[in-house]
């Protein structure tokens, strides 16, 4: 990864001005409502004693996704600013009106903020928020980690989302950051116009890594710990924190998952949590339509690990109830994802931990290989 020259030391975002060795807090105005009421969002700036990269930690671009708020809060509680070489800018609530109303989009115009970048200063509130964040935050940072989750209705395994095209410096840096974040799963994507990460790359050559952590407006302790460790990993790699990375032995780089559709509308009962190994043909859920007294079972279309699932009981016909990472047997690894690649971190200078997804897939499809691997 090409790292920026550590020339920026003190940073002011809104009313928060960095002070070396301290965390300062303030507010950033990001627009005004149609009734001309100012809209603010909280900002924290943690400045190290030494200069270094400026890294943005952001969350709740979608107002019903709260994992970023908790992950950033936990991380800021852990760090000692005097040990930083660089500056961390934390904006845990990028979409304040969506958050206040518990909805995905900006409340006033029902617009997805993550389709509104780079925004317009005099546009709709979503465009104003995007413009203020783009001009007053993104232009002042060197890297970004943008934390999302599956929203109100779903939960999914933590993973990084990396750009399919990594031919330029920014795309390559984002891919490096995705691997460094340390989740077992990474998802390749092309992205859409108006996304913060896509527009930051296109217009500013700014690498912003998008990560997904859980969902359903619940905090899974395992996922939260992965999120905090992932931030520490990236900051260690960038030299902002002392080098102490923790990586899984294997990581999986996958393509976008396709969902398993519900055969009818009704009440959904799911049998397994995300992360569960599933054999092809296993009944993963069932749907009951009280209007017709019809009950349908939903079977796993192939073997693998349950990657995502719907967490609310009401489901519509053809709506996705979940997705599975498909695996097949492999002579050297035991198993291999049907669509994707495996990265072996054996040579990385990091503490390696067992890889649960690979371990569970091996146990499911190649238990004899798992015994041999343990013996080695």
pLDDT per residue rounded down to tens, the chain (376 residues): 445 454 455 689 999 999 999 999 999 999 999 999 999 999 999 999 898 999 999 999 999 999 999 999 999 999 999 999 999 999 999 999 999 999 999 999 999 999 999 999 999 999 999 999 999 999 999 999 999 999 989 999 999 999 877 678 888 999 999 999 999 999 998 889 999 999 999 999 999 999 999 888 888 888 999 999 999 999 999 999 988 899 999 999 998 778 999 999 999 999 899 999 999 999 999 999 999 999 999 999 999 999 999 999 999 999 999 999 999 999 888 999 999 999 999 988 899 998 889 999 999 999 988 656 555 5
Cβ contact 353:246 at 8 Å: yes
CA angle 350/353/356 to nearest 5° reads 140
Q: What is the rounded CA–CA span in Å between residue 272 and residue 369?
A: 25
Residue partners of 133: CB distance under 8 A and separation at least 6:
30, 91, 94, 117, 119, 196
Question: Per residue in 171-210, is it b (16+ CB within 10 Å) or e — as a string?
Answer: bbbbbbbbbbbbbbbbbbeebeebbbbbbbbeeeebbbbb
**Domains defined along the chain, listed by start:** 12-244 (3.40.630.10), 260-376 (2.40.50.100)
The secondary element (H helix, E strand) that includes residue 126 is: helix 125-136
């Amino acid at each position: 990864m090409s790292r920026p020259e550590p020339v920026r030391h003190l940073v002011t975002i809104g009313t928060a001005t960095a002070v070396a060795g301290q965390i300062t807090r303030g507010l950033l105005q990001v627009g005004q409502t149609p009734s001309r009421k100012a809209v603010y969002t909280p900002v924290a700036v943690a400045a190290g004693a030494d200069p270094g990269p400026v890294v943005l930690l952001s969350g709740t671009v979608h107002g019903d996704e709260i994992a970023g708020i908790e992950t950033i809060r936990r991380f800021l509680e852990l760090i000692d600013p005097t040990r930083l070489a660089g500056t961390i800018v934390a904006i845990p609530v990028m979409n304040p009106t969506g958050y206040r109303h518990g909805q995905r989009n900006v409340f006033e115009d029902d617009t997805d903020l993550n389709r509104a970048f780079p925004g317009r200063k005099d546009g709709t509130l979503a465009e104003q928020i995007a413009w203020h964040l783009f001009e007053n935050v993104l232009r002042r940072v060197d890297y970004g980690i943008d934390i999302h989750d599956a929203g109100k209705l779903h939960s999914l395994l933590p993973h990084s989302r990396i750009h399919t095209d990594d031919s330029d410096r920014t795309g390559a840096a984002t891919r490096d950051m995705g691997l460094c974040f340390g989740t077992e799963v990474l998802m390749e994507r092309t992205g859409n116009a108006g996304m913060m990460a896509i527009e930051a790359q296109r217009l500013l050559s700014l690498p912003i890594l998008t990560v997904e952590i859980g969902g359903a407006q619940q905090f899974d302790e395992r996922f939260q710990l992965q999120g905090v460790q992932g931030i520490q990993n990236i900051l260690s790699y960038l030299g902002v924190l002392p080098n102490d990375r923790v990586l899984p032995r294997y990581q999986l780089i996958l393509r976008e998952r396709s969902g398993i559709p519900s055969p009818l509308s009704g009440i959904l009962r799911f049998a397994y949590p995300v992360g569960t190994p599933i054999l092809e043909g296993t009944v993963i859920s069932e749907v009951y339509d009280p209007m017709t007294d019809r009950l349908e079972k939903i079977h796993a279309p192939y073997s693998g690990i349950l990657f995502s699932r719907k967490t609310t009981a009401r489901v519509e016909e053809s709506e996705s109830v979940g997705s599975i990472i498909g695996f097949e047997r492999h002579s050297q690894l035991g198993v291999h994802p049907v669509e994707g690649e495996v990265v072996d971190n054996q040579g990385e200078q990091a503490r390696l931990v067992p890889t649960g997804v690979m371990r569970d897939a091996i146990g499911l499809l190649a238990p004899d290989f798992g015994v041999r691997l343990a013996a080695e």
